[in-house]
Every structure is written in C-alpha cells, then in structure tokens.
Amino acid sequence: MSGYFITGTDTGVGKTMVTALLANLLQAQGRKVAAYKPAESGGRKEGEQYRSLDMEFVSKYTGLNQPASEMNSYCFKNAVSPHLAAEMAQEQIDLDLIQNHFNYLKTKYDLVLVEGAGGICVPICGTEVLIADLIKMLNLPLIVVTRPGLGTINHTVLTVKYAQNMGLTVKGVIINYAQDIVDTIVEKTNPKYIEQVAGVPILGIVPYINLPEQAAKLATPELYLRYEKILGNA
C-alpha cells in the first residue's frame, strides 16, 4: 500500500485540513510522507502560473520535506470543477502525466497522500473521467471526509457505496468540523449511524480549528484521528 486518496462528500468539507493532519500523524509514526494534489481550481497567481493554495496550506502546517513542484500537477485560475477550469484555461488534463507524477512520488516516499477535488463524481478530464476513475487508476484506498451535521449520513453513505460499486477500497470516514457549530443530538449520533449504515469505520472526528490562532492543534493529530485504524496494514 503506497498511500491514501482523500476525497470529500462535497467541496468545502475540509479535505486539505484532514490531509495536513494525516501527514502529521504519519510523520509522527516515522513514515516519509508526500502530499499531492493532481488538479486544483482557484489557485494563487504567481507570475504566469498558478500555485496550489491547498498544497501551500499543507506545507505550512506540516513541515513536509517536499518541494512545491512535487505537490501539484495542474492548477487553474477559476474555482470551478477541474474539467471546466481546464476548459476555461484552454488546457487538457493528461492522466498519464498524473500517473507518472504519482509513480515518481511512490519511489521517493513511504506514503503519498493524494487529495482530490470536490467529491468522487466530479469530472476531472472532460466529462468521461471522474475523480472516482482517477482513484481507481492510482489504485489507492480511499478516506472520505464528511461534515458532522444534518444530511451527512445520506451524503456519506452515497459516497461510500458509489466508491465500493466502482471497486474502490474505502478505508473509512473522517468527520471534520469545517465550521464552528454547537453539537446537537444530530452531531452526537451521526458517527455511530454512519458506521452502521455505510459499513465502514469512523477514522476520526476533527473539531473546528480556528487558524492561525489554533495552529498548534494541527501538531496533535493523534487527539482526533484513530491512528491504529488508519495505519492498519499501511
């Protein structure tokens, strides 16, 4: 096993935050870790190119010993789905380039954390190739990041079952508080219901982390993530 693919039930659920926490967790266990985002939409312009804000975040809060050039293959101006962002930029995402990039990272690092864009049904190359197809191509087990509140059971189960129907291995689910909310009975009971209905384990529950004031929390991922389940067979 060469890493994990981190997807979400939707955009904005906190995939990047979870990727950073996973990187810190795995590094603390002595693993040499790389982070990689094949395609990002809505990057930061630097000269004539765009830089991945998500991978900049991971670099800032993990201290990964990894050059920025290794962390992203495609970055586009417009914050839309990757296939549309590429179309608007008059570019074509080359899946072979992504595969080769990933293969290179596998030779250099123990584990590669690949962060997706949006959910697994988001198109990445035209409308024929979805994120789910990319995960299958890279042959990685999947970690699903989801919200804690109302509606998350449905979104999470749909994501898990679709992935499994595609022949993907779902390692489990991480619930992330992307917003500062007060728990109700919904948030308190959703984890057990997700495990029961989706049939996969909850790998962690990440509280709301107010950055940069609470950046120190990113250095203690073992408080939120169940490393024994995440690292099992890794």
Tell me the pLDDT tens digit for each residue of 159-203: 999 999 999 999 999 999 999 999 999 999 999 999 999 999 999
Residue 46 lies in a domain: no
- HEC readout, the chain: CCEEEEEECCCCCCHHHHHHHHHHHHHHCCCCEEEEEEEEECCEEECCEEECHHHHHHHHHHCCCCCHHHCEEEEECCCCCHHHHHHHCCCCCCHHHHHHHHHHHHHHCCEEEEECCCCCCCEEECCCEEHHHHHHHHCCCEEEEECCCCCHHHHHHHHHHHHHHCCCCEEEEEEECCCCCCCCHHHHHHHHHHHHHHCCCEEEEECCCCCCCCHHHHHCHHHCECHHHHCCCC
Report the candidate in 89, 100, 190 with the shortest Cα–Cα distance to residue 148: 190
Domain at 190, CATH number? 3.40.50.300
Residue 56 lies in a domain: no
pLDDT of residue 1: 62
At residue 234, does pLDDT exceed 60?
Answer: no
Q: What is the pTM of this model?
A: 0.95
How many structural domains comprise the chain? 1
List residues with catalytic annotation: 37
Range of the domain at 129: 3-38+100-230
At residue 233, does pLDDT exceed 80?
Answer: no
pLDDT of residue 63: 84
Residue 57 lies in a domain: no
Residue 82 lies in a domain: no
pLDDT of residue 48: 79
d(CA 228, CA 24): 14
Tell me the pLDDT tens digit for each residue of 119-156: 999 999 888 899 999 999 999 999 999 999 999 999 99
Residue 178 lies in a domain: yes
Residue 47 lies in a domain: no
Residue 170 lies in a domain: yes
Residue 161 lies in a domain: yes
Determine contact, residues 94/59, Cβ cutoff 8 Å: no
Report the candidate in 210, 154, 147, 135 with the shortest Cα–Cα distance to residue 173: 147
